[in-house]
Structure 1
Amino acid sequence: MRTSHRTIRTALLVAAVAAASLSLTACGGDDAGAKDAGSARSSQSAAAPETTAAAPAASASASATAAGQDGASAAPAAAKTTTGSGGTSGGTSGGDGSETTKGAGSGAEAPACAHGDVKITAAKADEVPTEHIVLTATNTSGRACTLLGHPLIAFGDIQTAKDVPPVAKSRPAAPVVLDPGAPAYANVRISLGGVHEDNKVVKEFNVNLFAADGPAEGSVVVTAPAGGVAVDEAVAKTGYWTPELRNGADDF
């Protein structure tokens, strides 16, 4: 009986140890599982903010791309519209304005200058002896007028004086239109210089102008420079009216 009781106690003890081992193993497995589960939850929790942050970034990137595409497509459209409408409107108004201005300018011809429209003065040319004088006609009318042809000069009595012929090469290419206050010039040969028996001292002389159909009515009395000039009517010549004296054309 002693042997049997000892054997039974031993068996019970072994069974208890085995049960304890199994319990500890089970507990260890639960801890490991809990740890694994906890690690998984922690990983998911850590990953969640990254996923959340990435989503707005992707969304912002998509929005920026969309906005960029919309802006790029809208900007040329706006530029095209502005340029197109501005160009069309400016071109039309500019064209109309230019054509209107040109039409008015070409249609408004300045009338011929009359003797009362200009003041004529005479000055000796810069030479010794004096062979030329320069006439200056200044528009004093307050409006534009056209100075036609050449001066009609009479060195003496206007009814009997010899006509002073013009020099063809001095004719300007276009009519001389004088704005108010503007001058025109004519070079005039009065002698060949020196003392000659045919020279006569002239202290004043008459200058007439051309109208559209011939010599104008009336004349301007011009005072000779320096108290008088020696004139030889046989060699006297006049240049055409011109806005400025030109080398060559007005040298004779």
Structure 2
Amino acid sequence: MNLSLHRSTLLATAGAALALSLTACQSDTATKSAPETTSSTAGKATGKAAGGEQSGASGTKGSTGQAQSTASQGSTDRAGRSGSAGSTGDQASAATRVCTARDVRVTAATQGGPPTTHIVLTAKNTSGHSCRLADAPHIQFLESHKQDVPAAAKSKPASPVVLTAGAPAYALVKLSDGGVDEDNEPVSAFSVILEGDSTVIAVNAPGSGGIAVDPAKALTGYWTPELRNGADDF
């Protein structure tokens, strides 16, 4: 083999080895860069997915908030309707016309045994329609004492007293403390005036001998549908 041919063979062999080496390097470089590309793509996908979940969560929260708002509004509406119904009932009671002397019959009876310290007034609705007894009865026992008997504030009812046809209302009236040394005066009849009406109603005192009244100790309760323990004790 001549020298020229041997040199050509060596060069060809060296070239082939260099080509294989370059191919291996390129493959290695591609292999190393491939995971980075995949990681970057995966990161973007994860970010998009996370953004989608956040959007979904926001949408869910928004829907939940709207549902809660709707529920709260429903509760408020129901509460408002309930409050309105109560107010309407009070307004209806207040709108009922007041009872006059022509609407009721007022009588008196003693309460408890002797000495008689209290009487009970009864006002019965005889009009055939509903009416309202406002405030307390205005009572004057003696011609010498023109002032109305004071009303006991503790006996005032929480709501207006509306009498349907035939229904009664009551007022407890204190005459004295029951002491023998009191300045009592005999009373066989006395006057009652209803709130909102100027007509004087003459009421006969209970008992054959009438009642003994101490003007300084007399008190009257408000009209109530029934006498109540505690509130009407004075």
**Counterpart in the other structure of 1:128:** 114
Larger Rg: 1
**Counterpart in the other structure of 2:147:** 162
Q: In 1, distance between residues paired with 2:153 and 2:88? A: 32
**Counterpart in the other structure of 2:195:** 210
- SS of match in other structure, 2:116: coil
**Counterpart in the other structure of 2:103:** 117
Post-superposition CA distance 1:199-239 (Å, at most 9, x none):
1110000000101xxxx211110000002000001000000
**Counterpart in the other structure of 1:240:** 222
**Preserved contact between residue 155 and residue 162 of structure 1 (Cα < 8 Å):** no
**Counterpart in the other structure of 1:249:** 231
For residues 84-103 of structure 1, what are the structure 2 equivalents within 5 Å?
none
Structure 1: which 5+ runs fail to align? 1-98
1:196–1:241 distance in 2 versus 1, CA, 3 Å: same
- SS of match in other structure, 1:169: helix
TM-score between the two structures when normalised by the length of structure 2: 0.58
Aligned residue pairs total: 148
**Preserved contact between residue 187 and residue 245 of structure 1 (Cα < 8 Å):** yes
Amino acid at match of 1:222: V
- SS of match in other structure, 2:151: coil
- SS of match in other structure, 2:165: coil
Identity %: 52
1:140–1:200 distance in 2 versus 1, CA, 3 Å: same
Residue 104 (structure 1) shift: 9.9
- SS of match in other structure, 2:207: helix
Cα RMSD (Å) of the superposition? 2.4
Amino acid at match of 1:155: F
**Counterpart in the other structure of 2:68:** none
Runs of 4+ in 1 over 4 A off after TM superposition: 102-108
Decide which structure has greater helix share. Answer: 1
**Counterpart in the other structure of 1:187:** 172
User: Is 1:141 matched up with 2:127?
Assistant: yes
Residue 194 (structure 1) shift: 3.5
